Amino acid sequence: METPSAAEPGRSVIFRLGWERYGLPLAAVLEVLDSPAGALRPLPGAPDWVAGVLSHQGHVRAVVRTAALVAGEDRWSQAATGQIILAELGGERLGLLVDQVEGVEVIRTAGPAREDGRRHAWHHGVLVILLDLGELARAIDTRARSGGQKL
Amino acid sequence: MSLSARAFASHLATALAPLAAGLAGFQAWPGERAHAALVGLGAGLLAAALVVALALRQAGRLAQRLETQAGQAQASAGTLTRLAKQVNVSAGEISRSMEELSRGAGAQRQLIEQTSALLGEMARSIERASRSAEDAARSSAEASAVAQSGGQLAGQAVEKMRGVFQQVERYAQRVFEFGERSKEIGNIVRVITEVAQQTHLLAINATIEAVRAGEAGRGFAVVAEEIRHLAENTSRSSERIARLVEEVVAGSQEAVQAAQASTQQLSEGREELASILDALKAIVTSVTAGSDRVQIINRLAREQIAGAAETVRAFDNIAQVAQKNSSSTVGALQAAEAQSNTLLEMTQQTALLGQMAASLQAEAARYRRAEIQDGNAERR
């Protein structure tokens, strides 16, 4: 599947982490799943940014704490409940644990990139941080290497 | 005048003799008639002298009897005088006794009058006490009536409180039921919310699939988006309903708690009212008993008044009797004094009679002695 550029405005899945809203390009999203209590099983010995594993349609998918990747580990103490965005990053299918998926929106007015390289957009009066899939995949690789683990 | 009858007759004859001689000397008086008259006079005088002599003789016997009778009279007069003196002494004693009796009767009368006055005062005191008892009885009866009325009012209040209590209990039950229904509504809303969330999630996934389908899924993507909007609206409405239901449940819980508190207070109030009712009943019983006692006191006081009045009347009668006794005593005293005076006078008269009898006896004795001497002289 072709991965659209983060710089181009298009359809994004809007989700919430705490009070912040993020936009993930729809092209990377396969499905949105509910994560009721007990569905997500913790993985023994896994780093903190790994929420656990999820059995979905006969496959076991790793689920990462999105907040730990995009906002820093100390900033969010994300619970294991919420919703899981099943996405494909760098040829790997994995689950992104978010607080709540709010919908699919077309972000037309994306602003210039900030110092950290992220782009922001005002959508219906709400600030949305547009995530770059490449950046997210790199962050996961970096953490996996530093932790000596591979997803 | 100690002259015997015979000597008296002799003296009389001696005295009459010259008269007869004188009369005989008057034989020269002219007329036979005068002579005859004078002779007749002399004869008459002689006859009279004889009659007088006879009378003197009879007088001598009479004098003897008189002496005897005078002696007896003197003795009787002495006895009478002695008796009169004794009677006089007794009359004096009686008089003194009567005086003492009179004084005693006066003192008794005063005491009776004082006692009667005291009894009258006591009767008035009892009457005042009776009036006070009547007032107390009236007040007691009024208090009893008020207490009974209070007891009835308290009973009515208790009944009303029971009604209010039952109403509050029913109200609490209804509020509780309302709260339970609200919880049921909350459960339903929770299900609706979950359905809406699921619908929302399905709509998102439908949108994702439609986008993936490209042009073929464009129409479906629009429908999925509308469904997602509806699910979002439903979810928002469900959240609002859930909040409202939570508020209603909280309110109903507060109302139930308030009703339970009210029920508790009403229950306590009912117990207090029951205690008050019991206390009022006890007061009614006590006041009624007090009223009965006061009525008994009143009746006893009336009986005492009647008894005191009768006693006063009896003492008045006694006072009247004492007054009469005193008057009678005074009368008896006066009668005794009069009797004493009469006795004194009688004693004096008796003494005089005794003296007269003694004189008569002495005269009769002299007359008797002269007559005896004359008789002896004649016999010699």
Domain coordinates of chain A in residue numbers? Answer: 11-146
Please tell me the total count of domains within chain B: 1
A27 min Cα distance to partner chain B (Å): 8
Distance CA B336, CA B342 (A): 9
Q: Give the burial class of A91: count Cβ atoms within 10 A of its Cβ; 0-12 exposed, 13-18 middle, 19 or more buried.
A: exposed
- The number of CA neighbours under 13 Å toward the Cβ of B294 is 21
| Chain A residues with beta carbon closer than 8 angstroms to that of B198 | 34
Q: What phi and psi, each to the nearest 5 degrees, are found at residue A88? A: -120, 115
A28-40: pLDDT as tens digits: 899 999 877 678 8
Interface membership of A83 toward B (CB under 8 Å): yes
B230 min Cα distance to partner chain A (Å): 12
Q: Closest to A104 (Cβ–Cβ): which among B197, B198, B207?
A: B207
Distance CA B264, CA B285 (A): 31
Q: Closest to B211 (Cβ–Cβ): which among A11, A83, A101?
A: A11
Per-residue pLDDT of chain B (380 residues; tens, 9 = 90+): 445 556 666 666 676 666 566 555 555 555 556 556 656 666 666 766 677 677 777 767 777 777 777 777 777 777 777 776 776 676 677 777 777 777 777 777 788 778 778 877 887 888 887 788 788 878 877 877 887 787 788 778 778 877 887 888 888 888 888 888 888 888 888 888 888 888 888 988 998 888 888 888 888 888 888 888 888 888 888 888 888 888 888 888 888 888 778 778 777 777 777 787 788 778 778 877 877 777 787 788 778 778 877 877 887 787 777 777 767 767 777 777 777 777 777 777 777 777 877 787 787 778 778 777 877 887 77
Residue A65 near residue A8, CB atoms below 8 Å: no
Residues in a beta bridge with A18? none
At B6 the pLDDT is 63
- For chain B, how far is it from start to end, CA to CA, in angstroms? 24
The single-letter code of the amino acid at B177 is E
A103 min Cα distance to partner chain B (Å): 6
pLDDT at A51 over 80: yes
Residues in a beta bridge with B167? none
Pairwise CB contact (< 8 Å): B208 & A30: yes
At A6 the pLDDT is 41
Which residues numbered 10-49 in A keep a CB inside 8 Å of some CB on B?
11, 13, 26, 29-32, 34
Distance CA B123, CA B316 (A): 14
Query: Which residue range is the domain that position B42 belongs to?
Result: 5-379
A69-116: pLDDT as tens digits: 887 655 555 566 689 999 998 788 999 999 889 888 888 766 776 666
- For chain A, how far is it from start to end, CA to CA, in angstroms? 21
Pairwise CB contact (< 8 Å): B211 & A26: yes
Pairwise CB contact (< 8 Å): A104 & B225: yes
Distance CA B355, CA B74 (A): 8
Q: Closest to B208 (Cβ–Cβ): which among A34, A83, A104?
A: A104
The single-letter code of the amino acid at B36 is A
DSSP SS3 for A52 = strand
Q: What phi and psi, each to the nearest 5 degrees, are found at residue A78? A: -70, 135
Residue B106 near residue B319, CB atoms below 8 Å: no
Q: Closest to A103 (Cβ–Cβ): which among B197, B211, B228?
A: B228
Pairwise CB contact (< 8 Å): B204 & A101: yes
β-strand A11-17 against A50-56: which pairing, if any? unpaired
Kindly state the DSSP code that residue A132 receives in the 8-state scheme. P
Q: Closest to A29 (Cβ–Cβ): which among B198, B208, B232?
A: B208
- The tokens for B300 are 């006893």
CATH superfamily for A11-146 is CheA-289, Domain 4 (2.40.50.180)
Say which CATH number the domain at B336 has. Answer: 1.10.287.950
A102 min Cα distance to partner chain B (Å): 8
At A79 the pLDDT is 64
Q: Comparing C-alpha atoms, which of B210, B215, B243 is closest to residue B227?
A: B210
- More reliable by pLDDT, A26 or B335: A26
Which residues numbered 220-249 in B keep a CB inside 8 Å of some CB on A?
225, 228, 232
At A32 the pLDDT is 93
Tell me the count of A-B CB pairs closer than 8 A: 30
Place A24 in a pLDDT band, splitting at 50, 70 and 90.
very high
Distance CA B137, CA B127 (A): 15
Q: Give the burial class of B247: count Cβ atoms within 10 A of its Cβ; 0-12 exposed, 13-18 middle, 19 or more buried.
A: exposed
Residue B171 near residue A53, CB atoms below 8 Å: no
- The tokens for A115 are 């110092």
Which residues numbered 196-215 in B keep a CB inside 8 Å of some CB on A?
197-198, 200-201, 204-205, 207-208, 211
Distance CA B288, CA B143 (A): 9
At B2 the pLDDT is 47
Residue A86 C-alpha from the chain's centroid:
9
Q: What phi and psi, each to the nearest 5 degrees, are found at residue B126? A: -65, -35
Rg (CA), chain A: 15
